[in-house]
Each structure stands twice: as C-alpha cells, then as structure tokens.
Structure 1
C-alpha cells in the first residue's frame, strides 16, 4: 500500500496519449488508489472521462489526490472511501456502495500491495498471513464482489497487479513473491470462471516503478543502476507508463485478451 504524500502527485494529472471511446462514462474501481501507480491510474481513468471510485487506508494522501484532480478537472466524477483491505467484508461493501453510487461497475483494478522486505528466518506466522491479507486475498474478494455486479451486464474487465518479482524471485521478498505468483494463478483461473459472463481477467507485472515510496525506501542510485543494466530500455518506468497499460486492458481495444499476464519492465525479463 502506498502511503507517501508528495507534490509529485500533481504529475499524475495528465491526459493519456491515447483516448479510448469505450472508457467514457465507464465505472472503474481501484484499490490502493491514493498514491504511486494507483494515483496515476485514478488520474488516467478520469482523463478518459470514466467515473472513478478508489479506496485507500491513507485519508491524507487520498484527499490530496482528489483535490489535485478536482483543481485540474472540476467535472471529474470521483468516489473515495477509507478501507482496510484486510477486512473482506469492508472491501466488498465498498465495491457494492460505489457501484450503487456511480451506476454499475465496468472495471476493477486490484492494485493494492505492500512489498516490505524481510529475512526469511525472521518471518513469523503473523507476518506471513498479513502479507497474504494485503497482497493476495483482496484481489480474490474484490473480484468475487465484482462478479455479482458485472454479471448483470455480461461484460467487464478485471486487472490484477502481479509483479515481475514473481518471475525473478529476489531475496528478502519471499512472502511478496509468493503472493504475486499466486495472483497469476488466480488470474488464469478466474478468467475461465468469469469468461462465461464475458468478463475478462488479466494481470499486469510491473518492473521496478519509480514511485515516491520506492525512491524513498529502496531505489538507491546503486540499486537503480543495477536494475537498469539488466533492462533492454535504459530508463525509468514511471507510474504513468503502467497506467497507460491499465487503460488498454480496461478498454474494448483489448476485447479478446483474457487470462494473460503482461510484463511492463523495459525488457528486464
């Protein structure tokens, strides 16, 4: 979960290079939307004239994002609620309430996550279960709630956030990597279960994205250089790059894409 408030949030208020007619007026629900990739997606969907609901535990960051977007776009249709995603009932109720308030649900983006590092020998049972409660469980329970709504319209797009770390397996991230690998299995399975109702389920696997939190906590100059050396494209992955992929997967332009994991890592894998 992103909790860092920064003036750079204003950078997310941009118009995407591509405008998707199929996203105009669509209802989008994003978990972990207050900052980082989540904030970039909230802004990007608003730029498509979608109606955007988002949840986040961080009320301060959420209020700042809403204010920034509303200043740039007073007509933006936004819905926000503080939600602890480790509470499935609270999460599912938020999805139901947002859909009733905004008029349905067309797109669900399961973005929330926390990539905290920890040595394997120090991981307690509590630590392990908490990691799954944040990084894996919410995607299932949110998708379960979304199915009941999207089924009525026989259409919808669900976008899960995995990570290329599920493919690389870095040290000190066993819990996170396990959860993100699990999300890929969930994506494959749900695409079959939901496909009969014309609901698509895909996953985005970002590389190391230069969010404020990553820059403050992990992405040192040395680490960034090592990561960049392993990439085909020698530049940072920005939150807006990931948001643009989410727009495509949410739109009708990807109508026959489901059950897929798409890497956005500058050629790292």
Structure 2
C-alpha cells in the first residue's frame, strides 16, 4: 500500500516499536523505515526473516531485540540498546497487545495479572523509559488503544479495561510530560484484520456485522494504521497531545 504522505521530520528519527515484527507492528516498522527513520523493535517470536525483508526493501536494517516486554528490566534494557544504536529515542510506539478472548466467570487472578502486564503495565514502563530518554529534548509517544471499550464489547473484559486504562494513561502523561515538549497521544483502531485475527477470531457472520457498523464499508488492514501513526509521531501533529484518535472506519463517532 503506497502511503499518501511523507513526513520529512521523521527522517533519521530514533523509533522504538513494541511488537514491531508482526501484524500491525510490522506494518508500522515498514512505514517508519520508508520515512527514513531508524527503527528498533521488541518481540517474543523470531523476526529474522522480516528483518531481512525490510533490509532488502529499504536498504536499512531494523534492530530486532527479542524478548518478552512484560519483563520490565528487559524492556528497559532493549530501549537502552535502541538508543545506543540509533541515538536517544525520539518516537515510542506502544503497539503490542493481546486480545485473548475470555469471560468474567472463567478469569483467574493469574490470567488477570498476565493480561494487565501485557496490555497496560508494559505500556507504562515503556513510557517511563522513553520519557527519560526524551527529557529536555522532546519527542512523541503513541499508545495503541482500541475502540473495544468505547463500544462496550463483551468477550474480553480485561482487554477492554486495559484499553480504557491506556487512554487514561495517555491523558495523564500528556499533562505531566508536556512541559518537557513530549507529546503523548493514543490511537484507537477498529477491527484490523491481521492474520492472527483471521485465524483466531474472525467469522463471516462477525465480519459482516462489524462492517455494517462502519460508516466506510471496507475492512481495515494493518497498512491503514501507518499514516495515522506517522502523523501522530511527526511534527505535523505538534499541537496535539492527550488525544485519542479513532481509526476505525467510522464505528465510533464523536463531536
């Protein structure tokens, strides 16, 4: 998918993406590399083939740092390594998440803790380290939320709770970090049809029902998330912070 805009200030930027080797995260890695940014990303699964693909496509190799981002010390260490390779982080993209389906009745305290660690705690501590590196220099943080909690979706209450928390975190940190010229915004995708979604959750009936709720009658792809993320990461949105921008084909409308 050819991107409709070039954000010149992202050329040479030091960008760190969680989950940047698959799904939406891989599309974002591709998109930032196309802008001339230097990209580092963390992921649990081996992304060597993807790294080679990006090197061949862009002539530059993203820095893949394998690990589990719920390990806070490891997460922090990978962000320090990213800074050593590319300079202090200018842009943090908190993208990685897990929307494992579950119900209230079956949820155990252990599953609750794991879901919160993946979907909220890791976001918080990635922001903490990014803010440390951005201090007095400015920068942009984009936290991926979801319209799931805005819709009141059932089927994954901890995931919906986490995404509501991400929006709250975004607003609070925007206020705290604004004096340091650090902008913090959230991006709330609709149902983006990654391969994981198609393999695990999508059914013909569910897809049709969701499309009926969208104003725009086209399914969303990972590539649809690139340009909005680039916009929030770039100086094109220099006057925006503390916002949650829905990119959902028009399921949730406001104003």
Partner of 2:118, secondary structure, is: helix
Distance 1:227 1:144 in 2: 36
C-alpha displacement of 1:204: 0.4
Partner of 1:200, secondary structure, is: strand
Distance 2:235 2:50 in 1: 27
Within a 5 Å distance, the mapping from 1:24-63 to structure 2 comes to 24-59=11-46, 62-63=47-48
1:232 corresponds in structure 2 to 215
Partner of 1:121, secondary structure, is: coil
1:147 corresponds in structure 2 to 131
Number of aligned residue pairs? 252
2:63 corresponds in structure 1 to 79
Distance 2:189 2:136 in 1: 32
1:267 corresponds in structure 2 to 250
**Is residue 223 from structure 1 mapped to residue 206 from structure 2 by the alignment?**
yes
Distance 2:239 2:119 in 1: 27
CA deviation profile, 1:232-269 (whole Å, cap 9, x unmatched): 00001111111111000011100000000000111111
Distance 1:64 1:169 in 2: 38
Do 2:18 and 2:93's aligned partners in 1 also have CA atoms closer than 8 Å? yes
C-alpha displacement of 1:96: 1.1
CA RMSD across the alignment: 0.9
CA deviation profile, 1:132-160 (whole Å, cap 9, x unmatched): 0000011110000011110142x100000
> Deviating runs (4+, > 6 A) in structure 1?
none
2:50 to 65, 88, 96: 65
Partner of 2:188, secondary structure, is: strand
Within a 5 Å distance, the mapping from 1:58-137 to structure 2 comes to 58-59=45-46, 62-73=47-58, 75-137=59-121
Distance 2:231 2:42 in 1: 22
Partner of 1:29, secondary structure, is: strand
C-alpha displacement of 1:15: 4.6
Within a 5 Å distance, the mapping from 1:194-213 to structure 2 comes to 194-213=177-196
TM-score by length of 2: 0.97
1:10 corresponds in structure 2 to none
Distance 2:84 2:135 in 1: 15
TM-score by length of 1: 0.92
Which sections of structure 1, spanning at least 5 residues, go unmatched? Answer: 1-13
2:8 to 12, 16, 21: 21
Distance 1:250 1:119 in 2: 35
Partner of 2:166, secondary structure, is: helix
Do 2:54 and 2:61's aligned partners in 1 also have CA atoms closer than 8 Å? no
Which sections of structure 2, spanning at least 5 residues, go unmatched? Answer: none
Distance 1:129 1:109 in 2: 23
Distance 2:221 2:123 in 1: 23
C-alpha displacement of 1:77: 4.0
Do 2:184 and 2:242's aligned partners in 1 also have CA atoms closer than 8 Å? yes
C-alpha displacement of 1:16: 2.0
CA deviation profile, 1:57-81 (whole Å, cap 9, x unmatched): 011xx112111111222x2141111
Distance 2:85 2:55 in 1: 18
Do 1:50 and 1:77's aligned partners in 2 also have CA atoms closer than 8 Å? no
